[in-house]
């Protein structure tokens, strides 16, 4: 029992898309991601620090209250979903937010819609 891992569900076909944006914009961005193929999204509130002071010197008002969107997607659908998020969030504009993709190497609690051989 001592050699058992806590996360026995290794997975290499999934990625986590994370987007941190200004508060009040997450619903629109998540809906764009779902239209692009995301199965769903988790949204929560956060507070940012640091960048506000630097961008404030440029005359940009950066609100510290943020929303974070997290989406698990397959590697095949990640580019389309990521592009939809970047477009909907206007991430090409400084101070609008940030999005990034992280590989998922282990997962629990996510099940495919099709039953496995054991479930049939």
Integer Cα distance of 37 and 31 in angstroms: 10
Does CATH number 1.10.390.10 belong to domain 10-106? no
Question: 112 pLDDT exceeds 70?
Answer: no
Q: How confident is the model at residue 105 (pLDDT cuts 50, 70, 90)?
A: confident
Compute and round to an integer the Cα radius of gyration of the chain.
17
Upper half-sphere CA count for residue 39 (Cβ side, 13 Å): 11
Paired strand residues for 68? 20, 44
Q: What is the pLDDT of residues 27-39, one digit of tens each?
A: 999 999 999 999 9
Q: Where are the domains of the chain?
A: 10-106
Buried b (16+ CB within 10 A) or exposed e, 47-78: ebeeeeeeeeeeeeebeeebbebbbbbeeebb
């Amino acid at each position: 029992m001592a050699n058992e891992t806590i996360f026995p569900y290794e997975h290499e076909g999934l990625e986590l898309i994370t987007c941190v944006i200004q508060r009040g914009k997450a619903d629109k961005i998540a809906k764009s991601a779902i239209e692009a193929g995301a199965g769903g999204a988790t949204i929560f509130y956060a507070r940012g620090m640091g960048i506000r002071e630097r961008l404030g010197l440029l005359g940009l008002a950066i609100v510290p209250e943020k929303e974070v969107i997290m989406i698990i997607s397959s590697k095949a659908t990640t580019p389309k979903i990521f592009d939809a998020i970047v477009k909907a969030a206007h991430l090409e504009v400084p101070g609008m937010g940030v999005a990034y993709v992280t590989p998922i190497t282990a997962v629990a609690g996510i099940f495919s819609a099709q039953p496995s051989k054991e479930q049939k």
